[in-house]
A and B are shown apart, each in its own frame.
Chain A
């Protein structure tokens, strides 16, 4: 069984999880290659967020394998351990540390030793400062670095969160609805940013916005009732009769 996981970055096989009898994820299988970018679409309640919860250790699956890097069993690790393995997550609702400055938000996310005592005696090095400056440049918040994150606009918070994700230097980024609440211009820019990130890292994007998914131009997985309904290019899946039925049939 694990042989198939060989060479994959993320490997989900026959994963199921129920909440009070409701099967949120039903025998879901999904394989992501290193360096791959994947879009995940599906109607509300299809299990997209639950899938993210399982990968990041927030929810334990009832059955099935969840492997990272072909061999690391994610179901046995907690959120912090999984994050430190190199899996970063951006939430649907932008969650930044509102009472910290924009710069401190990035500094906290920056890849470093996460122990309490390491943090107590931590002094920011010039290398780290350089990294922070570069990241702020990437997410276009250099001028707002001293501003409290609470004062940012919705779109800027989304970008700050992406910046925090990059600061962790993850090997796999899980991005939940990055374009939600953004203007069209911001959405387009976000797609460009994500494609740039995908050149060096693997990315899984959950999204509702079809224009956005089209702009990403990657392989699409359609989830429905907790399992994979279809997989392929956006054109292929959107002409799939089963997908059409799920989206338009009721």
Chain B
């Protein structure tokens, strides 16, 4: 039943996206591992890892769009869930190092030995087991979102006030994780990873597998998001976005609906973070930086919010631009990003996807206007 529920949920565009992601998961690693260097179809390990990172960003963007584009909850703190998922993965990777650390302690990661800690803190227990760590990747961001969401949605905190407290949430976590006493490596975070699931993390094969996992996870996330937004629940979410009190007077418990999509979205962001960390090789408190969360919102805006394809396109396009810009004109990047956001907000309210629909289909389809109408109320909220 669940399978048909998920497969039925894809429209034509959705099937293309999932097909492309599956193809990417197969072809890019093949281009890296099987095609010899020098061939036009060869993908370098650098390119592979970079693209893998973009895919995890795309999953983060999708999670932001799910709450913002479809339910009008503008989260400026989704980086917190991403980082928590990343830390859960980082803790697993730290414990995989074992005696290969500088201090060769079989149990304690290097930074704990350095801080003269004698035993492993309770919250580090269990992270030597992959299944436990993977569970925490979903559970920790999910539970935080559940508690945070329950408190704020029940008190009917909405609009800009909610945005501000999400920002405060990620900032508070930033400050907390900076402290050495927290037990997460402080300023330096977690790094120097060696193995993942027993495979050397730097090996080309492992990197290719991580890329494939990111592409497939994004495809799965896309299918789930699509199933959610196309269900009756998804229609209620849009109803909440457009006319929250009307939805209450029809008898829907708005807070329950928000809590559902908020928690789902946080878990999705956590998974994105967990795939990000082994590919970039480090997780530190800067991932909690409010600016990082705002950047994720910009990806969604640029790609087209309230569409499922938009955040994927936005995340990849903006980050490709960032990689290029910071290589050529590093000091200009932030201005360029700011200008991009202003331009998109003023001239492309529905982002790249909206522009595409306008140019290709020639006329606005009902679904297109649907999101346009939502945008106005969403911005007013």
Contact = CB atoms under 8 A, between A and B. Distances in A.
A186 B238 CA distance: 30
Nearest to B252: A114
B38 interface: no
Contacts of A14: none
A114 B251 contact: yes
A95 B373 contact: no
Interface stretch (A68-76, A116-124, A241-249): A116-124
B242 A97 contact: yes
B233 interface: yes
Interface centre among A88, A119, A148 (most CB of B within 10 A): A119
B238 A120 contact: no
Instruction: Report the interface size class on chain B.
Output: 20 to 34
Main secondary structure of the interface of B (DSSP, over half): helix
A80 B253 contact: yes
A143 to B, nearest CB: 15
A122 B366 contact: no
B58 interface: no
A150 interface: yes
A79 B231 contact: no
Interface in B249-272: 249-254, 256-257, 259-260
A151 B246 CA distance: 19
Given A98-B242, A108-B250, A150 B369 contact: yes
B260 A108 contact: no
Contacts of B248: 78-80, 83
A13 B366 CA distance: 48
A82 to B, nearest CB: 8
A116 B233 contact: yes
Instruction: Report the interface size class on chain A.
Output: 35 or more
Contacts of B254: 80
Contact of A148 (B228, B232, B236, B366): B366
Interface in A95-127: 95-101, 104, 107-109, 114-117, 119-122
Interface in A51-94: 56, 58, 78-80, 83-84, 88-89, 91
Contact of A164 (B228, B233, B235, B250): B250
B250 A120 contact: no
Given A116-B257, A116-B260, A119-B233, A95 B251 contact: no
A95 B245 CA distance: 10
A84 B239 contact: no
Interface in B213-248: 228, 231-233, 235-236, 238-239, 242-243, 245-246, 248
A146 interface: yes
B373 A98 contact: yes
B249 A56 contact: yes
A170 to B, nearest CB: 9
A141 to B, nearest CB: 15
Contacts of A190: none
Contacts of B377: 98
Contacts of A150: 369, 373
A237 to B, nearest CB: 29
Contacts of B249: 56, 79, 83, 88-89
A153 B371 CA distance: 20
Contacts of A187: none
Contacts of A26: none
Given A80-B252, A99-B371, A164-B250, A108 B366 contact: no
A121 B366 contact: no
Given A99-B374, A116-B233, A121-B5, A91 B246 contact: yes
Given A83-B250, A121-B231, A101 B366 contact: yes
B182 to A, nearest CB: 34
Given A114-B251, A168-B251, A99 B233 contact: no
5 contacts: A98-B377, A107-B232, A119-B231, A148-B369, A148-B373
Interface of B: 5, 228, 231-233, 235-236, 238-239, 242-243, 245-246, 248-254, 256-257, 259-260, 366, 369-371, 373-374, 377
Interchain residue pairs A-B with the least CB separation, the first 4: A83-B251, A99-B370, A119-B233, A79-B248
